[in-house]
Structure formats: C-alpha cells, structure tokens
Structure 1
C-alpha cells in the first residue's frame, strides 16, 4: 500500500454486514427463517436452500462471496425462486425486504469497538457512509438500532443506486453527495465485491477486513491493505 495516499482520503464508505455488523451472528437466523418460509416449512429443503445460498454447515458460517453473504434480496429471491412469475417475484422481494429491515435491525450485533471506532474516525475529520447490498431502509434501521445514525452522512442500499456493488455506483453516489472525487474516498469491506466497487469507481483506497466471511488470502490480491477489523482504521489513518 502507498501510505502517501492516506493523506488524500477525506471520507470512508463502509460495507455493513461483515464489516460493521457480525454477519453470521446477525444473519444466520434471518436467512434460516426465510429459507423455511421458501420451503413451505420443509426443514430438509430449507437446509438445502441455505446451502445453495452459501451457508457452510460443516464450518458453521457463510461462504465468502456467496449469494447470501454478498448478494441482494433480489439475488436471493432469484436463486430460491427461479420459476416464479414477474408479479410473484416482486411480491417476494417486498416480503423479504420488509422482513430483513425489521429483523436485521432487531438482531444486529455490532463488531467489537464499533462505536468507539466510528467516533474516532469522525473526530479525525472523516465523513462516513454505508454502502450495502441490503436495502437502504435496512441500513438505516440497523444504524438506528445500534444508536449510530448520527455518525453517518449517507446510507446507500442496493435500491438507492441503479446498480449495486460490485458496480461503482454506490461509491460514485457517495462522492457526489459529499462533493468529493472518488480518489478521496476509502472503501472498506469484507468481501471481494466491496473491493471491486472501490477499483471500479477509482477510490483512493481499498481496505479489506477479516471480520466477515473472507480469508486474508482472498482479499489481499485486491486490497491496498487488509486489517483485522475496522477497529484498526483510526490507527492506520493516524499513522499516515
């Protein structure tokens, strides 16, 4: 990583699940219930749907870059219900979104030291945002449930921009809202689609974190730096 680039960073755009929120502890129960509904209560089928969506039953966590870990609600509906009509698909997306907004906020488990980290970054002068492949309402509800809303300038969901991560749209949207160039923004996330968004948008820094589903060797080829968690960010920027 070129440390000289840190001085140009004025804002930080965070992924939500796996980066700010413990993904498995927050989303396993939610995903299991959605799979149960999708299977009509057939537990074996629900288990198979979770496996298809990316849950590793032996390792007891979601696989990196799997549909549930990295995709949108629309991706999950399309995976689990490939043959439904257009109207039924739209109804399922609404149902899943509503459930995820409510339950995602209720079940949210923040990563260790999250509030202190965000406050430190704010005090260092950085504008903060969330870009998630959850809905914008889900991002806002989770931040509200954790008491963190005031620390963020922007909440960007898959439904906020024309194209979600890994496309550049979320970061470009954030840059426009702040009146910054993409090179002045650091993108932080636990999956490849976060880093791909950073590169596609021309972000100034692509930061991988190990608090989510991806191992170091999966992130390092695509990241400027890989940290254990967001808690390491204030020290990183202070050193730069």
Structure 2
C-alpha cells in the first residue's frame, strides 16, 4: 500500500528544540552588537534568548533561510537579504543536529522493506546534505531536496511531486512525514498520505486536522505500516 516515505528534516528526522535552539542562541549572539541587540534579533525571528523557546509562528520552524534573513534584515543595517541568507546557510551547515530517534537503524529497516525514502526540507540543500552526512545517513535516501533545489518550498507540493516523479511512484502510495502544517499541506496538495510527528514545535491539536495519523516520533512508523497491512 505504501511505496515511499518522504521526510521533512528539522523537527522530523532531527529534534527541533534540541537542534535549532542551540543554533539560534549561538548565531544571534555572534551577529549581535550586544545582548540587547541579540534579544531584538531573537524577537524578529520568534525566538526568546532568555527562555530558549520558539514562537509557534517563528520562520525558523518551517520557512526558508531567505525568509529568516528577511525577518532579520531590518535589525541589521548595511546587510541585504541575499548576504544574510548566505550567512545563515553557512552557519546552519555547522549546526549540531540531535536525532529524533536513532536514525540509521530505522532508515535501514525501512529500506529493507523495499521502501524508497526521500528528504524534502525548507532548509537549503547544502546544509541539509551536511546534516545528513554528519549522521551517516545520506545513502539511506533516494532523493534529497531543499527549497533552493528547483522544486519550490513547502507548503507548495513541488518537492513532493518531484520525489514521486523521479522515482516513478504513484503519489497516492507515498507518505509525507513532517512536524508542521507546511509539511502536511505540501503532502496533501501532492495527493499523498500524511504523517505528523511531535518532535517539532506544533502540538497534536494543530497537526491532527491535516494528517492521516499523528505519531510521537518517526520511530513509530514501522508499527503504523504494519497496521496498514493487517
């Protein structure tokens, strides 16, 4: 019934709070003039430096590096969105990612069932590939796309449709797995099933209306797949 799984990256493969909270603290502190400026920068992208919490509408959660740059540029005279985007990408490539679950055994098991696997992220492709490589899982995926890979950004369906097209899959037999409405809306727009996971910022009540099922994390996917076959 299912031939492919397409994963979001941040908040899905990797725990969002643990991974991007550390990045935001370090990045904002480095580019700020002082502590007060760092807090203003944090507010611009929906991040509280004092509590380490992201606002539900923070562009860091589901938007692109260019969107984050656009939110920051007003607080950084002399900078442009283009050079800020490059700065963010360079910094994000070095961000330490925390696996939501042990990834290599899970992904290897899913591939062992004959499933085709992909990544569709609103991160840029270069840092996305760096994160996957740092965890030794690049070869687990048949398809890796960022918002700048030529298929558009989520919630548009472009990356989802490209995954299905390139691998010769029927979108109705593919599942988009993500932690945000952007992920789920992209999957549904492409005619795919959708799985929501709770390793991002959004809660069950926000995601459930847009998902076929809400799971605690991607580690529960094998049991869900088994249930489909029962």
Q: TM-score, normalised to structure 1's length?
A: 0.88
Is 1:196 the equivalent of 2:185? yes
Aligned partner of residue 80 in structure 2, secondary structure = helix
Number of the residue aligned with 2:168: 179
String of CA shifts for 1:81-100, please: whole Å, max 9, x gaps. Answer: 14889983222211211221
Q: Residue 33 of structure 1 aligns with which residue?
A: 26
Any idea what SS the aligned residue of 2:14 has?
Answer: coil
Task: Find the partner of 2:225 among 209, 213, 237.
Answer: 237
Counterpart of 1:114 (choices 78, 97, 103) is 103
In structure 2, how many angstroms separate the alpha carbons of the residues matched to 1:150 and 1:36?
35
1:207 aligns with 2:195: yes
| C-alpha displacement of 1:68 | 0.9
Q: Deviations for 1:141-175, whole angstroms, at most 9, x for unmatched residues? A: 11110011111111110101242011111101111
Indicate the RMSD between aligned Cα atoms, in angstroms.
Answer: 2.1
Change beyond 3 A, Cα 1:59–1:35: closer
Q: 2:118 aligns with which of 120, 124, 129?
A: 129
Give the gaps of 5 or more residues in structure 1.
1-6
Task: Find the counterpart in structure 2 of residue 228 from structure 1.
Answer: 216
Q: TM-score of the superposition, structure 2-length normalised?
A: 0.91
Partner Cα distance (1:144, 1:138) in 2: 10
Aligned partners of 1:56 and 1:142: how far apart in 2? 24
| Count of aligned positions | 228
Secondary structure of the corresponding residue to residue 81 of structure 1: helix
Could you tell me which runs of 5 or more consecutive residues in structure 2 were left unpaired when the two chains were aligned: none
- Which residue is equivalent to 1:163? 152
Query: 1:24 maps to which residue?
Result: 17
Question: Paired residue for 2:137?
Answer: 148
